[in-house]
Structure 1
Amino acid sequence: MSDKALYQPTAESLSSHEVPDWFLDAKFGIFIHWGPYSIPAFAPHKLAIDKIDPADEKQGFANTPYAAWYQNTMLFEDGATARYHAETYGSDYPYERFGEAFNASLSGWDPVAWARLFRRSGAGYVVLVTKHHDGFALWPSEVENPNRPGWHTERDVVGELAEAVRAEGLKFGVYYSGGVDWTFKHQRIESFMDFMTSIPGEAEGYTDYATAQYEELITRYRPDYLWNDIAYPSAQASYDVLAKYYNAVPEGLTNDRWIAPDGQLPADAFDKPEGLTGLLPPKPAVWDVRTPEYGMFDRILPFVWETTRGMGHSFAYNRNETDADYLTRDDLVAMLARAACFNGNVLLNVGPRGDTVIPPGQAERLEAAGAWLETAGPSILGTRPVELPEREAGGVPVGATRRDGALYLHVFGVPEAQTLKVSLPEGLGPVTSVTQYGGEVSDWSVDAGRLSLTVPTWADTAVQSFKLES
């Protein structure tokens, strides 16, 4: 790479980076939340994160469904997590002991088996949480934590999983909690303001520490995706990290969770684009992909996005959740198709148990997604979104994608009638054939830009996908 091509640590230079084609092609990624919090594996079994009453922030944080927040929720003395902790481990049992238990469990971990399951799911990439808010690193970092020496895995979880995933032909990314590290600064978080003021920085020696760990991750593992969470203690330090990353991995990308206490936000940082569901982090100065949490967009917008969510209400494994709390097969395949139609990806989390086992119900969902993509994958993977003149047909939502000159129609749900009429996008050449993935088409015709198709039966309970060749 010539000097002229190097990215500089400035917002202007870094903003010229483009989302790589591999990410646009992949459509589906696997997120993994796994760490010391997976040992107690407990969160109150209440509402989904986007259903919690925003007017009662304290109760929201006390009853968060996110099991990875165990170290914070156990501080609410009258809360369900504190009661569970006292009854199960004893009130004087420190969270740090879970790090010891997690390290002990790793002797039974098989990263190859995980990677093979992820490949069978049809996913194109995997993002591993390498350090969550508890500060525990999933690699034997040479950057010593000054407040909790040895607070990391003895086994190189990051390196072994990266090797296994890449051996299956998938891309590998790393999540890092850049904005929160409770080994440097932790007060009980019970409001959004607490959350933001809990970001450690120069005063705690955290900025240099986090940047050094990021540099270690980039140098050792050359991640295809750098997924930061919450924020970063310094805007300039974030630019330094991203410049190093883009120059080391030009075909990599990053997300949109890089706001900094000393940074300048865009004027529209807190805007909620039309068609959004779920939670959307504030937009920083530099980003490649927007990442709504437990939400999506229902239309094509002028940016790439990636919805991220757990199988249930929690990212990390929560022993209180049952199979009934997880997305159904139909929920999952509809989410994959909708994201593809509206310029998005799906980053679906698996939460392995503390004994290294991916819960059977979660593994079953991954296998189901893979089975569906085995049939309908050509209409999803490697495609780009297409705007249709109408968003509904036959009383159900519709969307479209394109690839290699073909147009793919996606009908969400099961129309009541066997005949459906859909307005086609302008500029489409004469249609020469119409086929249904997993089913048949009895008859079809196009008149004045409107497709009429009839099927003997709808092929799927969640998404009907058709290929139109022209």
Structure 2
Amino acid sequence: MISLEDIQRVANQGPYAPDWDSLNRFELPRWFKEAKFGIFIHWGLYSVPAFNNEWYSRNMYIQDHPEFAHHVATYGPQKEFGYKDFIPMFTAEKFDPEEWVHLFEAAGARYFFPVAEHHDGFQMYDSQLSSFNSVQMGPNRDVLGELKAAAKKTSLHFCTSSHRAEHWFFFGHGQEFDSDVKEPMKKGDFYWPAMPEPDNQDLYSEPYPSQEFLEDWLLRTCELIDRYQPEVLYFDWWIQHQAFKEPLKLLAAFYYNRGIQWGRPTSISYKHDAMMFGSGIIEIERGKFADAKPFYWQSDTAIARNSWCYTETLDYKSVKEIIWNLIEVVAKNGNLLLNVGPKADGSIPKRDREILLSIGEWLKVNGEGIYESKVWRKAGEGPTQLVDGQFQEDAPTCYTDEDIRFTVKGASLYAFVMEPTKEEVVITSLAVSPDQNAPDFHGIIKKVEILGHGVVPQWQQTTAGLVITLPPLSSQLPITFKITME
């Protein structure tokens, strides 16, 4: 079993050390910047009630929440049937890890992130630190281990995520009435520590995480690292709290030094400036940057608008909206991490599967301009502008026939027409400019093609832009012009 002494030794043995000056030497692996598209997986006990969203474990103990009333009506009072009682119901009888990873490959993904432990504290992997895990309870299977073994038979990179930090307070509301969440508790208990919920926007909020909890968080995360050796580790929110600063630096040095030992560079994806800029991958949840960035980043979002896990009331996004998101993110120097939520039995819902396969079919044709691409001198053109920041997905962005996004690879510029509804497309960024000193395009265009359509369109370069005549199209999804330069 890993110890705090082991963690200190590895974290301080170099080449990385647990301080921001050292961790700032982090370099993002080349494969991640070339991959562009990954799959997130939220699957756990919350998939059993499949009601509203993955925060069921918290909300079922809040007396004015819909989950509270639903739980009492469906399963009985929380004192008699608590969240822990979903564990025997989580049997995962249809879980087929090889089927999952082959579906992700068919979707065009290059890596995937199964959630190892969500806020509810149930570990989806083999652990010596708690018996509340998928090997000793529920499905009696090492979910994470089986997925990693399946990934080894494919080209997918194996990554994982920990959402343990929020467990400090996630069951705290169960202490406010007569429920199965009761004190006293000891370390290792499923609901422990069930503290009152702090202001999660306050970086110094009370009750301050205890040293015992912080050490448990560190041990669990390093155990996860050592046992499964993920290539990227994702942290959800709340590790930006001041209490996590020192343990997080220790964890990062431990993980990055382990990557050196394994001969595979490792990375940490984080939100809310939890880590010092330059020491990991910046993460944006359900949102994007308005402009291309000089640093690499990742946007994580879900296939449904209203939940990360499977529920019976999912508000699915369209295939077009997800492809728009992918193009927008890649054009601005980022990756898209798209979440799916399997059912409690381990099967992936039909609609999720259909959407993933449709994205894969689009990428078979247009992926040339996505994978291994880089940002161009500008991310795009057109009237549609995005808002910087997280949680910007209440409704899909509405694009016009003038909205075009760019990437570049080799000798070619790729122009993605977001809404190809007109017979003629004008790319104003490629206009002939009489002023050689202006910061505009002055290169020589050799050829223009439409990926996947097998025809060479008519085109001419004018002072208004590169004017391209479109042939009849069979799909309303975005199309890609491959513009080859001399």
TM-score by length of 2: 0.79
Which residue of the partner structure matches residue 364 of structure 1? 354
Q: CA deviation at 1:457?
A: 2.9
Q: Deviations over 1:259-299 (max 9, x none)?
A: xxxxxxxxxxxxxxxxxxxxxx3453254222221111232
Aligned to 1:57: none
Contact 2:292 2:379 in 1 (8 A): no
Q: Which amino acid aligns with 1:316?
A: C
The residue identity in structure 2 corresponding to 1:318 is: T
* SS of aligned partner of 2:166: coil
**Residue 188 (structure 1) shift:** 6.1
Whether the 8 Å CA contact 1:125–1:172 is kept in 2: the answer is: yes
Extract unaligned runs of 5+ from structure 2.
1-11, 171-190, 384-399, 431-438
Counterpart selection for 1:461 from 470, 476, 484? 476
The answer for the alignment partner of 2:220 in structure 1 is 213
Is the Cα–Cα contact under 8 Å of residues 117 and 162 in structure 2 kept in the other structure?
yes
Give 1:27 shift: 0.8
CA contact (8 A) 1:189 1:195 kept: no
The alignment partner of 1:245 has SS state of helix
1:30 and 1:126 in contact (8 A); partners too: yes
Do structure 1's residue 320 and structure 2's residue 313 form an aligned pair?
A: yes
CA-atom RMSD, angstroms?
A: 2.8
* Residue number among 275, 288, 291 corresponding to 2:283 in the alignment: 291
Aligned match of 1:412: 418
TM-score of the aligned structures, taking structure 1 as reference length: 0.81
1:193 Cα shift? Answer: 5.4
Quote the offset at 1:451 in angstroms. Answer: 1.9
Cα 1:436–1:78 change in 2 (3 A) is same
Equivalents in 2 of 1:190, 1:240: separation in Å?
24
Alpha-carbon distance in structure 2 between the residues aligned to 1:294 and 1:240:
29
Asked if 2 retains the 8 angstrom alpha-carbon contact of 1:306 and 1:344, the reply is yes
Q: Which amino acid in structure 2 is aligned with residue 220 of structure 1?
A: R
Query: Is the aligned partner of 1:154 residue 2:140?
Result: yes
SS of 1:299 mapped into structure 2: coil
Counterpart amino acid of residue 447 in structure 2: S
- What aligned pairs does 1:164-243 form with structure 2 within 5 A after superposition? 164-181=150-167, 182=170, 183-187=191-195, 189=197, 192=200, 197=205, 201-203=209-211, 205-232=212-239, 233-243=243-253
Match of 1:302 among 287, 290, 294: 294
Aligned counterpart, 2:436: none
CA displacement at 1:208 relative to structure 2: 1.6
- Determine the C-alpha separation between the residues in 2 that align with 1:16 and 1:99: 43
Using the TM superposition, give the Cα deviation of residue 9 of structure 1 relative to its aligned residue in structure 2, in angstroms: 1.1
Please tell me whether the aligned partners of residues 298 and 338 of structure 1 are also in contact (alpha carbons under 8 angstroms).
no
- Residue 445 of structure 2 corresponds to residue 438 of structure 1: no
1:384-430 CA distance string (max 9 Å, x none): 11133962288522111111221111121124342423323856642
- Give yes or no for contact 1:227–1:254 (8 Å, CA) kept in 2: yes
| 2:77 is the alignment partner of 1:69 | no
Change over 3 Å in CA distance of 1:221–1:433 after alignment to 2: same
Using the alignment, how far apart are the partners of 1:161 and 1:426 within structure 2? Answer: 48
Percent of residue pairs bearing the same amino acid type: 29
- CA positional deviation for 1:358: 0.8
Partner of 2:17: helix, strand, or coil?
coil
Separation in structure 2 between the aligned mates of residue 195 and residue 80 of structure 1, nearest angstrom: 29
Q: Once structures 1 and 2 are overlaid, which stretch shifts more, 407-416 or 7-16?
A: 407-416
Alpha-carbon contact 1:174-1:227 (below 8 Å) kept: yes
1:398 lines up with 2:404 in the alignment: yes
Cα distance in 1 for residues equivalent to 2:228 and 2:450: 42
Amino acid at match of 1:391: E
Q: Is the 8 A contact 1:140 1:153 kept in 2?
A: no
Map of 1:120 onto structure 2:
106
Q: Which residue of 1 aligns with 2:82?
A: 94
The CA deviation at 1:153 is 6.3
Q: What code does the residue aligned with 2:209 have?
A: G
Amino acid at match of 1:98: F
TM-fit CA distance, 1:79 = 2.4
Aligned length: 415
Which residue identity lines up with residue 317 of structure 1 in the other structure?
Y
| Aligned counterpart, 1:33 | 42
Amino acid at match of 1:69: W
Counterpart Cα distance in 2 of 1:226 and 1:431: 42
> Which ranges in structure 1 are unaligned for 5 or more consecutive residues?
44-66, 258-280
2:1 is aligned with 1:8: no
Letter in 2 for 1:357: S
For the 8 Å contact 2:401–2:418, the answer to whether it is kept is: no
CA distance 1:458–1:134, shift in 2 (3 Å): same
Report the 3-state secondary structure (helix = DSSP H, G, I; strand = E; otherwise coil) of the residue aligned with 2:251: helix
CA separation of 1:291/1:198 partners in 2, compared to 1, >3 Å: closer, same or farther?
farther
